[in-house]
């Protein structure tokens, strides 16, 4: 039975909403397939506004891969803004996909990509608008299987009640595998219904189905044990790692939006994973080991992507792009290729060294040298040792001075506040550093026309990192330090005017902390917030700390217990049964090293230090150099 | 530098594109199509593409115009094909000519609008149109970027007729019957838009359509002084280019 488009019903609402174009689809390179041509159908959601969700590579890649499979279709859906939500409720219009405007409930799978926990309330809105019961256990045979993926899915416990399953790690291969399991089950006539399908997925050990695991608690609230409640289900669920990224050169057909989005560029992931070992960085820990794309594949992907999209900006994406073993040749090769074509290149790198400036110079060859960003993250040398960000003050000042001397006028420095063991002095150290930077810059350039912006964010301890046991700083402490830093910067007569200061207050970090390290009991808070109107928590104009606190109180959840409390070595953590490959003992040891200021090297260039990932996951480091170069393009 | 004048349509769901959305889409399409667009000088060079009075967001159009400057002469028909291929369906390129002398914007004196009103009452619409046309001035208010403005919506309206048809929204197989207004409106400052005329109809005769109207610009161009009809604004360029081959351009333009 073909499923009907709801577009004509939506269309009548569009003249009444902001930016209606975000809801109509029709992007270049989007795919609409005949409903009946497929027997497995995915709706992929990025649970934020279209303008943030469309550029997301994770969804774009899965969308393309699934649509390439025979008899499979994938469409996209995004969070609708409250103005449209209200109209959809009034008119009974369900959550829809933007590709063919089909109701989300008609699909077999709703795959949701969580790069941040702040999308949880938007998931509930989408489910509710779709007519899918919020609680997974109340879903019937006609409801899609709701699967969470993305970085936040490494601890999906706070949303365990609302999802049917979660997938950890790279999605390319596992989404295909899930598709085939569903196809087979449907072809067999759906034996055993929804429950058996979930069981087939869970049995493999590659898909986490929360309802097949029971959580027991100690009287004091700590978790006693998480155990499967069915014999066929494994004790631990493992993450997925794509080896050989050259074999997966997606996106091949980049989606080109009509609406304006946060990233108007063609991005290529130049490698996955990062082993620099920054202790606060969940992304670095959960995506190990490093797997590079080769210079030649990168060149081919950029050429194809620019041609297919018409974008005039190319981004080379990764967790630390300057670390690619052949980044120099890639930068030079691409800059040569696109010289004089008004195509700009960008490399999001924050490494504090001269090489990084060489790269930035290469990329800004025919543009303006406006701003450079470095991320020392910690204000004092002691702090930087704790987080394993091995940058000395000398390094930083030398690097920044070099940047100023080479014509860069504006330097941005990233820091975090609320790090483990941090004191007021550590944060005030940022002011000293910024002043020294300006002083050295003025001396080197002989000019007062240089600026530096200090940008500082609140630290949130994340699962699967050495800081997963740490107590999060309370927001009063964070706010006090941020204010002291502001006063120290602004009050300075000599340098104050040359230093910009950007910060956010500490409250949102507490909510993020609750969601990051929460367990299943936090689900009630999310639900209560949502029922109270909570939406778009990643947007300061929508976020309400008071609403979250009120909901926590109502749900009987002690926010401090989840956030500011330090955990002991043996406490069962809510995500311990989810395996990112990291050896728990190694993480604990690294946490202890952090407190004593011990450093870890990068295993790309020094011997393996047994973090556990490679042997557990059967993976290995894949890096160049290949020794190849990019040849000039003949066209353009 | 050769300049190309392009007529394009925004249709169906892509009528919800804003002017900025369209300019981004066109810039990308130009690159995809490999059209040798000229760039402005300076630190952040912009492609030389200019737009003449874009239809508002949510309004469809069969007659939007833009002009592209290119660095090497191009065949207009090839540009039409290439650009159309490179734009998403719904932004469709209808006509491309090489620009002759004279500005394009100056020729776009009048627009012909079609306004479909599903579920509206035809008789009431006719009465309202009569009253509107009979009025000397009809003052309306609209919220603009500069705040609330008050202006006359009557003077700009050269013609206003009422007929009937079906609405052809989206994927419906059989459209609903609906009232169709045709308005020929002179471009003035402040611009009088179809919704201003609808506001006017409400003011003079309490005529209010039940659902949001579906508006399409069918044509825009110069008004032929003799016949009173709307002419194709690109004809002058066509005459001129043809004239370039046959003889002095000025004679043709004058003729
Ligand atoms: C580009 C980018 C942005 C862009 C674009 C975001 C977007 N919509 O894509 C912008 C600037 C908007 C942005 C904003 C933010 N970002 Co950001 N961003 C990145 C960056 C550099 C690349 C993301 C990317 O495209 N990765 C590549 C894709 C392919 O990976 P992926 O999305 O994870 O998808 C794969 C898998 O996760 C999986 N998968 C994903 N979804 C699903 C779903 C299903 C069903 C399945 C089966 C599998 C699956 O399959 C995919 C393919 O393998 C990353 C760093 C990085 N290199 O990853 C940070 C990163 C993701 N961002 C991060 C953060 C913190 C943020 C912000 C919260 C920052 C802030 N405080 O405002 C916001 C949140 C915005 C929002 N509401 O989503 C962190 C996440 C922290 C963490 N969990 O470790 C990262 C890791 C950076 C970091 N090192 O801290 N970001
Ligand atoms: S197992 Fe060894 S080589 Fe692999 S990521 Fe961990 S430290 Fe590096």
pLDDT at residue B245 is higher than 50 = no
Q: What is the CATH number of domain B2-99?
A: 3.30.70.580
Q: Is A340 left (phi over 0), alpha (psi -120 to 50) or beta?
A: left
Q: Is the CB of A463 under 6 A from ligand 1?
A: no
Residues A610, A1: Cα–Cα separation, whole Å: 54
Task: Compute the C-alpha angle A275/A424/A435, nearest 5°.
Answer: 80
Q: Mind listing the pLDDT tens digit for each residue in A181-225?
A: 999 999 999 999 999 999 999 998 899 999 999 999 999 999 999
The DSSP output letter for B44 is S
CB A622 within 8 Å of CB A290 = yes
CA of A287 to the centre of ligand 2 (A): 11
Q: With an 8 Å Cβ cutoff, is B149 touching chain A?
A: no
Give the nearest chain B residue to A259 (CA atoms): B21
pLDDT at residue B255 is higher than 70 = no
Which residue, judged by its Cα, is nearest atom 81 of ligand 1?
A283
Question: Which ligand 2 atom lies nearest to the CA of residue A615?
Answer: 1
CATH class of A371-580: alpha beta
Packing angle, helices A120-130 and A523-531, rounded to 10: 60
Chain centre distance of CA A212: 27
Q: Which ligand is nearest to the CA of A604?
A: 2
Residues A99, A558: Cα–Cα separation, whole Å: 42
Mean pLDDT to the nearest integer, B225-249? 72
Mean pLDDT by 10 residues, chain A (636 residues): 88 94 96 97 98 97 98 98 98 98 98 97 98 98 97 98 98 98 98 97 95 98 97 96 97 96 95 96 97 97 96 94 95 92 86 87 76 92 94 92 91 96 96 95 93 96 98 97 96 92 95 98 98 96 97 97 98 98 97 94 94 95 93 68
Length of chain A: 636
Ligand 2 mutation pick, A606, A609, A623, max ligand atoms within 8 A of CB: A609
The residues pairing with B111 across neighbouring beta strands, listed in sequence order, are B185, B220
Report the topology of domain A7-237: Rossmann fold (3.40.50)
**Beta strand pairing status for B157-166 and B177-186?**
antiparallel
Q: With an 8 Å Cβ cutoff, is A259 touching chain B?
A: yes
What is the residue-averaged pLDDT of chain B?
Answer: 89
Q: Is the CB of A242 under 6 A from ligand 2?
A: no
Q: Which residues of A186-211 are buried (b: 16+ CB within 10 A; e: fewer)?
A: eeeeeeeebeebbbbbbbeebbbbbb
Residue A216: partners with Cβ closer than 8 Å, 6 or more residues away: A223, A224, A225, A226, A227
Domain boundaries, chain A: 7-237, 265-368+601-636, 371-580
Which residue, judged by its Cα, is nearest atom 3 of ligand 1?
A56
Q: Does A265-368+601-636 match A7-237 at the fold level?
A: no
The helix, strand and coil proportions of chain A, stated in percent and rounded to the nearest 5, come to: 40, 15, 45
**CA distances for A417 relative to A425, A462, A510, A511, A589, angstroms:** 11, 15, 13, 16, 23
Tally of CA atoms within 13 A in the half-sphere of A496 that contains its CB = 9
Residues A167, A234: Cα–Cα separation, whole Å: 14
Ligand 2 mutation pick, A281, A289, A579, A622, max ligand atoms within 8 A of CB: A289
Residues B67, B3: Cα–Cα separation, whole Å: 7
**pLDDT on residue A506:** 94
**pLDDT on residue A286:** 98
CA of A597 to the centre of ligand 2 (A): 21
Q: Is the CB of A150 under 6 A from ligand 1?
A: yes
Q: Is the CB of A45 under 6 A from ligand 1?
A: no
Q: Mind listing the pLDDT tens digit for each residue in A478-511?
A: 999 999 999 999 988 999 999 999 999 999 999 9
Report the topology of domain B107-221: Alpha-Beta Plaits (3.30.70)
Residue B19: partners with Cβ closer than 8 Å, 6 or more residues away: B51, B54, B57
| B170: nearest CB among A11, A19, A20 | A11
CB spacing of A258 vs B39 below 8 angstroms: no
Packing angle, helices A354-363 and A327-338, rounded to 10: 20
Residue A502: partners with Cβ closer than 8 Å, 6 or more residues away: A453, A454, A455, A456
User: Nearest-CA neighbor of B113 among B178, B196, B51, B172?
Assistant: B196
Q: Does B107-221 match B2-99 at the fold level?
A: yes
Q: With an 8 Å Cβ cutoff, is A91 touching chain B?
A: no
Q: With an 8 Å Cβ cutoff, is A342 touching chain B?
A: yes
B:216-255 residues touching chain A, CB 8 A cutoff: none
pTM of the model: 0.94
Chain centre distance of CA B163: 21
Q: Is the CB of A321 under 6 A from ligand 1?
A: no
- In B170-226, alpha helices (H): 194-205
CB spacing of B17 vs A367 below 8 angstroms: no
Residue pairs spanning A and B at CB distance below 8 A: 81
User: Nearest-CA neighbor of B138 among B197, B89, B93, B71?
Assistant: B197
B:45-64 residues touching chain A, CB 8 A cutoff: 45, 47, 57-58
Q: Which ligand is nearest to the CA of A622?
A: 2
CB spacing of B39 vs A342 below 8 angstroms: yes
Task: Compute the C-alpha angle B92/B98/B101, nearest 5°.
Answer: 125
Which residue, judged by its Cα, is nearest atom 3 of ligand 2?
A608
Q: In CATH terms, is domain A265-368+601-636 a member of 3.30.750.210? A: yes
**CA distances for A143 relative to A127, B96, B235, angstroms:** 10, 50, 58
Length of chain B: 255
Asked whether the bond before A44 is cis by omega within 30 degrees of 0, the reply is no
**CA distances for A510 relative to A538, A546, B133, B205, angstroms:** 13, 12, 64, 58
ipTM beyond cut 0.85: yes
Q: Is the CB of A317 under 6 A from ligand 1?
A: yes
**Interface mutation vs chain B, best among A3, A7, A15, most B CBs within 10 Å:** A15
Residues A123, A334: Cα–Cα separation, whole Å: 39
Residue B150: other Cβ atoms inside 10 A: 9
Residues A89, A314: Cα–Cα separation, whole Å: 40
Residue B245: partners with Cβ closer than 8 Å, 6 or more residues away: none
Q: With an 8 Å Cβ cutoff, is B171 touching chain A?
A: yes
Q: With an 8 Å Cβ cutoff, is A258 touching chain B?
A: yes
Whole-angstrom distance between the N-terminal and C-terminal Cα of chain A? Answer: 47
**pLDDT on residue B242:** 55
The DSSP output letter for A3 is P
Q: Is the CB of A171 under 6 A from ligand 1?
A: yes
Q: Mind listing the pLDDT tens digit for each residue in B150-203?
A: 999 999 999 999 999 876 654 445 567 889 999 999 999 889 999 999 999 999
Tell me the DSSP string of B125-172: HHHHHHHHHHSS--EEEEEETTEEEEEESSTTEEEEEEEEEE---TT-
Ligand 1 mutation pick, A55, A115, A279, A459, max ligand atoms within 8 A of CB: A115
Residues A119, A2: Cα–Cα separation, whole Å: 31
**CA distances for A533 relative to A2, A86, A508, A542, A547, angstroms:** 35, 11, 17, 10, 9
Q: With an 8 Å Cβ cutoff, is A309 touching chain B?
A: yes
Q: Is the CB of A604 under 6 A from ligand 2?
A: no
Question: Which ligand 1 atom lies nearest to the CA of residue A174?
Answer: 47
Residues A289, A139: Cα–Cα separation, whole Å: 38
């Amino acid at each position: 039975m073909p499923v009907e488009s709801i577009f004509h019903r939506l269309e009548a609402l569009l003249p009444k909403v902001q930016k209606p174009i975000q809801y109509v689809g029709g992007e270049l390179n989007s795919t609409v397939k005949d409903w009946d041509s497929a027997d497995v159908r995915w709706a992929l959601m990025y649970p934020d506004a279209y303008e943030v969700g469309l550029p997301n590579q994770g969804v774009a890649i899965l969308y393309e891969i699934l649509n390439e499979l025979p008899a499979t279709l994938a469409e996209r859906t995004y969070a609708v803004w409250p103005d449209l939500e209200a109209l959809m409720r009034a008119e009974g219009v369900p959550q829809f996909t933007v590709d063919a405007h089909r109701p989300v409930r008609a699909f077999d799978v709703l795959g949701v990509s969580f790069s941040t926990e702040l999308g949880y309330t938007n998931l509930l809105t989408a489910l509710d608008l779709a007519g899918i019961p919020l609680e997974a256990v109340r879903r019937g045979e006609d409801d899609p299987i709701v699967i969470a993926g993305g970085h936040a899915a490494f601890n999906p416990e706070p949303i365990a009640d609302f999802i049917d399953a979660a997938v950890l790690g790279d999605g390319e291969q596992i989404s295909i595998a899930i598709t085939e399991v569903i196809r087979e089950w449907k072809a067999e006539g759906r034996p055993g219904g929804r429950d058996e399908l979930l069981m087939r997925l869970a049995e493999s050990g590659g898909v986490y189905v929360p309802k097949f695991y029971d959580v027991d608690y100690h009287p004091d609230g700590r978790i006693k044990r998480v155990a499967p409640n069915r014999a066929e289900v494994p004790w631990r669920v493992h993450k997925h790692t794509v080896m050989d990224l050259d074999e997966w050169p997606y996106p091949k057909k980049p989606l080109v939006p009509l609406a304006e989005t946060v990233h108007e560029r063609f991005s290529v992931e130049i490698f996955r994973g990062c082993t620099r070992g920054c202790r606060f960085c969940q992304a670095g820990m959960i995506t190990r080991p490093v797997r590079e794309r080769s210079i030649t594949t990168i060149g081919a992907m950029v050429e194809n992507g620019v041609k297919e999209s018409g974008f005039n900006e190319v981004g080379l994406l990764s967790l630390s792009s300057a670390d690619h073993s052949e980044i120099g040749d890639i930068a030079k090769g691409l800059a040569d290729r696109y010289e004089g074509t008004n195509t700009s290149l960008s490399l999001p790198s924050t490494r504090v060294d001269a090489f990084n400036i060489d790269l930035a110079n290469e990329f800004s060859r025919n543009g303006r040298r406006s701003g450079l960003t470095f991320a020392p993250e910690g204000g004092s040398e002691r702090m930087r040792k704790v987080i394993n960000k091995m940058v000395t003050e000398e390094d930083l000042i030398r690097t920044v001075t070099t940047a100023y001397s080479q014509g860069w006028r504006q330097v941005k420095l990233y820091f975090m506040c609320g790090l483990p063991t941090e004191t007021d002095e550590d944060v005030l150290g940022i002011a000293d550093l910024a002043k020294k930077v300006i002083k050295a810059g003025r001396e080197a350039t002989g000019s007062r026309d240089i600026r530096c912006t200090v940008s500082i964010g609140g630290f949130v301890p994340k699962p699967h990192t050495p800081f997963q046991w740490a107590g999060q700083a309370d927001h009063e402490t964070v706010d006090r330090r941020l204010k002291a830093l502001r006063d120290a910067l602004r009050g300075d007569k000599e340098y104050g005017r040359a230093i910009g200061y950007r910060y956010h207050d500490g409250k949102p970090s507490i909510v993020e902390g609750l969601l990051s390290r929460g367990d299943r009991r936090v689900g009630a808070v999310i639900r209560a917030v949502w029922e109270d109107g909570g939406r778009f928590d990643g947007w300061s104009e929508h976020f309400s700390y008071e609403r979250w606190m009120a909901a926590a109180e109502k749900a009987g959840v002690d926010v401090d217990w989840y956030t500011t409390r330090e955990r002991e070595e043996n406490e069962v953590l809510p995500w311990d049964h989810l395996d990112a490959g990291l050896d728990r003992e190694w993480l604990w040891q690294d946490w202890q090293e952090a407190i004593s200021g011990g450093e870890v090297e990068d295993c790309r260039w020094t011997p393996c230090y047994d973090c556990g990932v490679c042997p557990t996951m059967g993976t290995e480091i894949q890096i160049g150099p290949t020794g190849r170069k990019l040849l000039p393009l003949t066209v353009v | 530098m050769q300049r190309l004048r392009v007529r394009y349509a925004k249709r169906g769901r892509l009528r919800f594109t804003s002017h900025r959305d369209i300019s981004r889409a066109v810039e990308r399409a130009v690159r995809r199509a490999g059209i040798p667009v000229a760039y402005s000088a300076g630190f952040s060079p912009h492609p030389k593409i200019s737009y003449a009075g874009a239809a508002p967001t949510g309004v469809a159009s069969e007659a939007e115009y833009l002009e592209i400057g290119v660095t090497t002469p191009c065949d207009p028909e090839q540009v039409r094909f290439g650009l159309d291929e490179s734009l998403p369906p719904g932004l469709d390129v209808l006509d491309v000519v090489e620009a002759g002398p004279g500005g394009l914007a100056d020729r776009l004196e009048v627009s012909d609008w079609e306004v479909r009103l599903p579920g509206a009452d035809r008789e009431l619409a006719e009465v309202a149109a009569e009253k509107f046309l009979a009025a000397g001035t009809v003052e309306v208010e609209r919220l603009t970027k500069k705040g609330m403005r008050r202006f006359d919506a009557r003077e700009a309206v050269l013609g206003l007729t009422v007929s009937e048809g079906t609405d052809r929204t989206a994927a419906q197989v059989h459209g609903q019957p609906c009232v169709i207004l045709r308005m020929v409106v002179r471009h003035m400052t402040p611009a009088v838009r179809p919704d201003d005329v609808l506001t006017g109809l409400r003011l003079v005769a309490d005529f209010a359509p039940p659902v949001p109207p579906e508006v399409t610009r069918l044509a825009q161009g110069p008004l032929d002084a003799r016949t009173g009809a709307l002419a194709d604004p690109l004809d002058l360029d066509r005459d001129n280019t043809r004239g370039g081959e046959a003889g002095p351009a000025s004679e043709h333009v004058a003729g």
